[in-house]
Structure 1
Amino acid sequence: MEPIPETVVAIEDFGPFAIEHVDLQAELLEMAHRVQQVVPECVGLSIGSSIDGVTFTVVASAAEIAALDAVQYLEGGPCVEGAKGEEALAYNHDELMNEQGWQLFARATHAQHVASTLTLPIMAGGRVVGTVNLYAATPDAFDNHHQAVADIFGAWASAAVSNADLSFATRTTAEQAPAILRDELDITKAWSILATREGIDIETARARLTEAARRAGASEGQLARILIELTADNDA
């Protein structure tokens, strides 16, 4: 597997994150390798951090997808199953296709090589600190493997949810990681500028930026960048 480009940018340009002194990219790839040893059909995984507010994604390489395709075609091709809910539920492809509203969704999912998913909460200190979503090319790939996969991530197997993200939505979320982190960096800089210029503490500066952005109908990141640019112009 390999990280999507946005995950590489997020890690290299904005790290370290919650885990310091750890090569996060290497750690992701190592966990992906361990998952594929348990679930060879796994084609991707995303880890979302509640602490940093971003998601990182690794996906199967073109060669891995080609190999999976070859095996599936020999066996008659992949089938797609999907479900959403708070419990571990599964529906087969025929059931999905009987629901007219799901037809386009099922076909799009089929094209993305995702036939089953597994979602697990990551726990630390008795609270959820993140979520791992795993994606596989066959409908039963994760059957009987919940605990083994959960152990790789220090996740909670008993809270596993099956097929909650057949559309691989976490990849789209991961693509936003650099922008999210860039906003956070700019906002932090803006707090410091406001605090220094107005002679106020950081918490007050934070509240002012939030309120000003709300009243202007702009995002805090947009307002932060304007403030940074104005300060740079005045210092020039």
Structure 2
Amino acid sequence: MTPLAQTAQAIEEYAPFLQDGDLLEVLQDLADQVVALVPDCVGLSLACYAEGVTFTMVATTAEIAALDAVQYLDTGPCVTSAEEGRVVESRAGDPLDEERWGSFVRASAALGIGSTLTLPVIVEDRPTGTVNLYARSARAFDGRHEQIARVFSAWAPGATTNADLAFTTRGSALRAPADLGNSLQVQIAAGLLAAEGHVTPEQARERIRDAALRSGLTEGQFAAALVKLFSADAG
């Protein structure tokens, strides 16, 4: 697994100001350790909650970042874990998961994800972020929760400090004029989201913008993922 291009670029740009100068190397090592424990794991993201904002600090594929973003449109295990400060696991075909996290479950199925595991990052007795793992099979994480938690526990306090630093500038960068080329995809996705979510097109576009920002994707990338999801549902 390798980080998204946006993640690598952000880390390189802000490296002089981060506590961990070799942050990208640290993140890659964490991903390698997870894959060694769970060979079926195909995606990883680290999310941080600062100033009431959630965003994905690192995601190993654009599809995984899109799954994170879908949760910010509605809800999902990542959001639930952060709010409740507990480990949350989801599996394909679980009726309870479908009821709680309908959009996320459908998006996971469309992308071939069989199970997810979310671990809260606890700093000074409060949840400040989450570690989100995605696997192809339904029981990839069974019996491995504690081992995975140990992989991330030593680095958990640093996650919030490093993530807070880059958020504001990343937000403005992702809203740059270069992203306007994806406006048609955004308009299509907003129309579909408005029809399903009973919101106005303007509200739908704002939700897409916010979810994309939090996940580290451009609006165009996330809009394309949403169109793919709606098309899979229709099929």
TM-score using structure 1 length: 0.47
Larger Cα-atom Rg = 1
> Comparing both structures, which one devotes a greater share of its residues to helix?
2
